[in-house]
């Protein structure tokens, strides 16, 4: 499915089986939009990657090679997706990392997903998934490779032919979509869940927080259901208005439209 | 580090990079002791593997091939470790599994770890790790590939040169060791944490529960610190008495010795 793959700078599609990415999900990833040969929001993606490596104590420092390889792959494409995986590298049996781990970097380009453009005008129908996020500040916010919760939640969406599902944590707090962050608007106040206990701090979420008056707070199901507008976002899909959540209809409101337009103008959304 | 590797029946040490085991930790594993060419507790390992595949909706059915390959690898060794990984197989970008996933199986043998035999007579010093287990019934009990929590906890142990650490969940319940299950004994009653919210239901844990009068219950730090005996167990290390936990000393008690002896007699522990 990948177009090009570079593993530690080499064009190959195979990987050492003793890499800790496979053995323990011991690593993290980024998913980046390529538009006209450029990597959108590169600095934000790189910042999250570096911060997450530090939190996981993965001594990844090949930032120059990473940048060069990412640009090399991006240069070929008008529109594509770049996925970067950084793992702690090869290791022995057992959870203990080697004394001096040599991290692996995997860069792969993929075709741009064929989301109908109508989604932006007509919105999406969503559900609240049964699969929940565990609560753990140790791993919260990072785009690490331990993603079984989202995989399980995605399977629920697929079974119902729903484009996106909304995930709660085990205490019923609203966290995010299975592949997106969530924003709600009530009385013109934009709000998004605080993600100190679980979830992924997305690059587009950060951009919206940095450029708008956003209240970051704990959001429960009642807040969600009683909001005036709901939208979802990620680096590839951009902004998706929610027009149905379980059995309730929602309108695409003025603020959601404004943010969508801003993104289109800035070139953040294709 | 591996001695022999079989991936879907082929002797190779590389793996397709688009396998979901690497991309999302979308799979599970078993770690099995090989003694005199035999796979110890095979039926229990296989049972857990099959139940976990069902829970994760991984359609793995190649049980005959798995058994044949496991026996082929085991046959060469007087003493070794067999690690089996089952993943959901190859997939595209994104959490959604393919409509008809073809699971991958990886079997690898490793040298027997050189634990000093004195551990069984003298016990081990342990700590309570800062890294916690998240709470999520969705994934509890399974030996799945999302193991960052244990990796982080193991790094704490390594920094302190401690053989094993004890992990709590985020609500301060005692769960298990970073690579072992835990049992405590108080007034001759054997107890072990219930693992419906997190943790791994180990094969040796199951054997002890099945053959002894064990109370499975929620255990807190006070229960742990006030217990008469503590021991840890897994399929490779067998039974390790705990003689120190943080600053407190513990004795190796009669029941711990009895269980250790039973295991040695039954051939469960090398």
Alpha carbons A153 and A133: distance in angstroms, whole number? 9
Nearest CA distance, A247 vs chain B (angstrom): 24
Q: CB contact, 8 Å: A236 with chain B?
A: no
Nearest CA distance, A53 vs chain B (angstrom): 12
Q: Which tokens go with B38?
A: 């035999």
Nearest CA distance, A189 vs chain B (angstrom): 31
Q: CB contact, 8 Å: B7 with chain A?
A: yes
| Whether A94 and B179 lie within 8 Å, measured CB to CB | yes
SS3 call for B135: strand
Q: What is the pLDDT of residue B47?
A: 97
Q: What is the pLDDT of residue A268?
A: 66
Alpha carbons A96 and A20: distance in angstroms, whole number? 10
DSSP strand E in chain B: where? 5-7, 10-11, 14-16, 27-35, 38-39, 79-87, 104-111, 124-128, 164-168, 174-177, 181-186, 189-193, 214-217, 229-234, 238-245, 248-249
Nearest CA distance, A64 vs chain B (angstrom): 23
Alpha carbons B45 and B41: distance in angstroms, whole number? 6
Model ipTM value: 0.95
Pairing of strands A5-7, A104-111: antiparallel
Q: What is the pLDDT of residue A179?
A: 97
Q: Which residue of B has its CA nearest to A106?
A: B17
The CATH class of the A5-111 domain is alpha beta
| pLDDT class of B80 with cuts at 50, 70, 90 | very high
Q: What is the pLDDT of residue B114?
A: 81
Q: Which residue of A has its CA nearest to B138?
A: A131
Closest CA to A188 of A228, A134, A151, A241: A228
Q: What is the pLDDT of residues B41-70, one digit of tens each?
A: 999 999 999 999 999 999 999 999 999 999
| Whether B14 and A16 lie within 8 Å, measured CB to CB | yes
Q: Where in chain B is the domain with CATH 3.20.10.10?
A: 118-266
- Out of A13, A57, A138, the one facing B149 most closely (by C-beta) is A138
What residues have CB less than 8 Å from A54, skipping those under 6 apart? none
Task: Reduce the secondary structure of chain A to three states and give it as a string.
Answer: CCCCEEECCEECCEEECCEHHHHHCCEEEEEEEEECCEECCHHHHHHHHHHHHHHHCCCCCCHHHHHHHHHHHHCCCCEEEEEEEEECCECCCCCCCCCCCCCEEEEEEEECCCCCCHHHHHCEEEEECCCCECECCCCCECCECCCHHHHHHHHHHHHCCCCEEEEEECCCEEEEECCCEEEEEECCEEEEECCCCCCECCHHHHHHHHHCCEEEECCEHHHHHCCCEEEEEECCCEEEEEEEECCEECCCCHHHHHHHHHHHHHCCCC
Interface test with A, best of B8, B21, B23, B131 (most A CBs within 10 A): B23
Q: What is the pLDDT of residues B202-213, one digit of tens each?
A: 999 999 999 999
Closest CA to B122 of B231, B213, B210, B39: B231
Alpha carbons B265 and B3: distance in angstroms, whole number? 28
Residue carrying structure tokens 């008809």: B100
CB B58 within 8 A of CB B103: yes
Q: What is the pLDDT of residues B215-263, one digit of tens each?
A: 999 999 999 999 999 999 999 999 999 999 999 999 999 999 999 888 8
| pLDDT class of B266 with cuts at 50, 70, 90 | confident
The one catalytic residue in B109, B126, B143, B164 is: B143
What would you report as the CA-atom Rg of chain A, rounded to the nearest whole angstrom? 19
Q: What is the pLDDT of residue B205?
A: 97
Q: What is the pLDDT of residue B269?
A: 62
| Whether B14 and A17 lie within 8 Å, measured CB to CB | yes
Q: Note down pLDDT in tens along chain A; length 270 residues.
A: 899 999 999 999 999 999 999 999 999 999 999 999 999 999 999 999 999 999 999 999 999 999 999 999 999 999 999 999 999 999 988 999 999 999 999 999 999 998 888 898 899 999 999 999 999 999 999 999 999 999 999 999 999 999 999 999 999 999 999 999 999 999 999 999 999 999 999 999 999 999 999 999 999 999 999 999 999 999 999 999 999 999 999 999 999 999 988 888 877 665
Q: What is the pLDDT of residues B137-153, one digit of tens each?
A: 999 999 999 999 999 99
Q: CB contact, 8 Å: A179 with chain B?
A: yes
Q: CB contact, 8 Å: A91 with chain B?
A: yes
The CATH class of the B118-266 domain is alpha beta
CB A93 within 8 A of CB B1: yes
Residues on chain B touching A96 (C-beta within 8 angstroms): 154-155, 157-158
| Whether A138 and B151 lie within 8 Å, measured CB to CB | no
Q: CB contact, 8 Å: B137 with chain A?
A: yes
| Whether A93 and B148 lie within 8 Å, measured CB to CB | no
- Out of B13, B136, B179, the one facing A17 most closely (by C-beta) is B13
Q: CB contact, 8 Å: A2 with chain B?
A: yes
Q: What is the pLDDT of residue B270?
A: 56
Active site residue B176: yes
Residues on chain A touching B13 (C-beta within 8 angstroms): 16-18
Nearest CA distance, B98 vs chain A (angstrom): 10
Interface test with A, best of B93, B172, B175 (most A CBs within 10 A): B93
Nearest CA distance, B189 vs chain A (angstrom): 31
Q: Where in chain B is the domain with CATH 3.30.470.10?
A: 5-111
- Out of A26, A150, A155, the one facing B57 most closely (by C-beta) is A155
Alpha carbons B34 and A25: distance in angstroms, whole number? 26
Closest CA to B39 of B75, B90, B85: B75
Active site residue A31: yes
Closest CA to B205 of B221, B184, B229: B184
């Amino acid at each position: 499915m990948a177009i090009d793959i570079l593993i530690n700078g080499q064009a190959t599609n195979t990987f050492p089986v003793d890499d800790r990415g496979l053995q323990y999900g011991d690593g993290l990833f980024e998913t980046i939009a390529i538009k006209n040969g450029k990597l959108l929001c590169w600095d934000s993606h790189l910042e999250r990657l570096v911060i997450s490596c530090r939190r996981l104590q993965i001594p990844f420092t090949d930032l120059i090679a990473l940048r060069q390889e990412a640009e090399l792959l991006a240069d070929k494409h008008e529109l594509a997706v770049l996925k970067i995986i950084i793992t702690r590298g090869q290791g022995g049996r057992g959870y203990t990392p080697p004394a001096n781990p040599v991290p692996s970097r995997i860069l792969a380009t993929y075709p741009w997903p064929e989301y109908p453009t109508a989604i932006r005008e007509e919105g999406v129908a969503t559900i609240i998934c049964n699969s929940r996020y565990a609560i753990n500040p140790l791993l919260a916010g990072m785009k690490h490779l331990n993603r079984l919760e989202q995989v399980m939640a995605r399977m629920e969406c697929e079974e119902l032919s729903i484009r996106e599902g909304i995930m709660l944590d085990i205490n019923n707090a609203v966290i995010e979509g299975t592949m997106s962050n969530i924003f709600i608007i009530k009385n013109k106040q934009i709000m998004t869940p605080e993600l100190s206990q679980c979830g992924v701090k997305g690059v587009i979420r950060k951009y919206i927080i940095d450029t708008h008056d956003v209240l970051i707070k704990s959001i429960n199901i009642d807040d969600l259901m009683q909001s005036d507008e709901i939208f979802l976002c990620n680096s590839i899909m951009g902004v998706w208005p929610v027009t149905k959540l379980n059995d309730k209809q929602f309108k695409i409101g003025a603020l959601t439209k404004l943010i969508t337009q801003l993104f289109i103008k800035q070139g953040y959304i294709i």
